[in-house]
C-alpha cells in the first residue's frame, strides 16, 4: 500500500511539474508586445495608432498558434494603411510595418463618389469634406459614363474599361498626380474585343490640357514625352491651350498647340 501511495504521490508531483513546465513554455511564447512601424504622413500615423490599439487584443494569446490571417483582417479594417510586412517576432511579439495609402482620385459612379489611391484602391465612399483630388471621369464612345462594376472600401475598384484605368493610374504617376493634375477624362470604347477609342485628357492645374491618343500603344511613354513638353513650356502658355501626344511614323510626338484637338482615334 505504501508503494502504491508513493507511486501516486510521485505521479501527482510529476504531473504538476509537467503542467508548470508546459504553462511556463506557453507563457514564454504568449504575445506580450505589438510593434507598429509606420512610414506615413499625418493621416497614416493617426490610423496606425488606432490600428495598434486594435492589435492589443492579441496580447496574451499564444504566438505559436496565433492565426496571422486574423491579425491581417484586423489591419484590413483600416484602408488608408498598406501593410508592407506582418510577422511573428519570437518569442513574444507581433511586428507590423505599414505605410499610408495616399488619396489621389475621386471617381463618381451611380451617384456615389469614391476616394481612390494611385492604384484604384477604394479608401472611402462619399467623403464628408471636399477634397482637392483628381476628378476621374470615364465615358464610352457615345459619351455615356462608364460606371464601376465593383466598388467597396478596402478593395480595388473595377469597371468595364478594358484595363484603361490601370494605365491611366500609371500615366498619372508620371504627371506627379495631384501636384499637377486636377481632372482626367478617359474615353474608351471597344466592340468585339477591338479597341475603337482609347484617349485620355489630363486637365493640368495650370490650365493647359494634355491630350493623349491611342494610350494602349505606349501610353506611359507618351505621357513621359508630353510631360517633357509641359516642363519646357513657359508659365504663361501652361495656363491655356493644349499639348497633344501621339505617334507619327512609329515615333512618339508631343507638341504644344493653340488649336483645340479633335477627338479622334488613331490607328495603333
131 and 196, same structural domain?
Answer: yes
Q: Residue 210: which domain range?
A: 105-257
Q: How far apart are CA 249 and CA 111, in angstroms?
A: 43
Number of independent structural domains in the chain: 2
249 and 116, same structural domain?
Answer: yes
226 and 126, same structural domain?
Answer: yes
pLDDT per residue as tens, the chain (268 positions): 555 555 555 555 444 444 444 444 444 468 889 999 988 777 788 999 999 999 999 999 988 889 999 999 999 999 999 999 999 999 999 999 999 999 999 999 999 999 999 999 999 999 998 889 999 999 999 999 999 999 999 999 999 999 999 999 999 999 999 999 999 999 999 999 899 999 999 999 999 999 999 999 999 999 999 999 999 999 999 999 999 999 999 999 999 999 999 644 444 3
109 and 96, same structural domain?
Answer: no
Q: What order do you get walking across the sheet with 93-100 strand by strand?
A: 33-39, 93-100, 81-89
pTM above 0.75, yes or no: yes
232 and 192, same structural domain?
Answer: yes
217 and 152, same structural domain?
Answer: yes
Q: How far apart are CA 53 and CA 47, in angstroms?
A: 10
Amino acid at each position: 500500500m505504501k508503494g502504491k501511495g508513493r507511486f501516486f504521490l510521485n505521479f501527482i508531483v510529476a504531473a504538476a511539474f509537467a503542467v508548470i513546465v508546459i504553462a511556463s513554455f506557453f507563457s514564454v511564447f504568449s504575445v506580450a508586445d505589438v510593434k507598429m512601424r509606420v512610414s506615413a504622413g499625418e493621416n497614416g500615423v493617426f490610423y496606425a495608432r488606432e490600428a495598434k490599439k486594435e492589435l492589443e487584443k492579441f496580447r496574451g494569446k499564444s504566438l505559436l498558434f496565433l492565426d496571422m490571417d486574423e491579425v491581417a483582417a484586423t489591419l484590413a479594417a483600416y484602408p488608408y494603411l498598406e501593410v508592407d510586412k506582418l510577422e511573428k517576432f519570437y518569442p513574444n511579439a507581433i511586428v507590423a510595418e505599414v505605410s499610408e495609402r495616399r488619396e489621389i482620385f475621386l471617381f463618381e459612379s451611380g451617384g456615389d463618389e469614391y476616394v481612390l489611391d494611385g492604384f484604384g484602391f477604394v479608401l472611402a465612399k462619399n467623403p464628408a469634406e471636399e477634397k482637392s483630388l483628381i476628378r476621374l471621369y470615364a465615358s464610352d464612345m457615345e459619351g455615356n459614363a462608364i460606371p464601376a462594376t465593383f466598388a467597396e472600401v478596402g478593395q480595388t475598384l473595377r469597371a468595364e474599361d478594358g484595363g484603361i484605368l490601370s494605365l491611366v493610374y500609371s500615366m498619372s504617376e508620371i504627371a506627379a498626380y495631384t501636384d499637377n493634375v486636377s481632372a482626367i477624362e478617359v474615353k474608351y470604347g471597344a466592340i468585339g474585343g477591338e479597341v475603337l477609342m482609347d484617349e485620355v485628357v489630363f486637365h493640368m492645374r495650370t490650365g493647359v490640357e494634355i491630350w493623349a491618343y491611342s494610350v494602349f500603344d505606349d501610353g506611359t511613354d507618351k505621357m513621359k514625352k508630353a510631360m517633357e513638353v509641359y516642363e519646357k513650356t513657359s508659365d504663361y502658355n501652361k495656363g491655356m491651350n493644349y499639348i497633344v501626344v501621339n505617334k507619327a511614323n512609329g515615333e512618339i510626338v508631343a507638341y504644344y498647340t493653340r488649336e483645340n484637338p479633335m477627338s479622334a482615334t488613331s490607328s495603333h
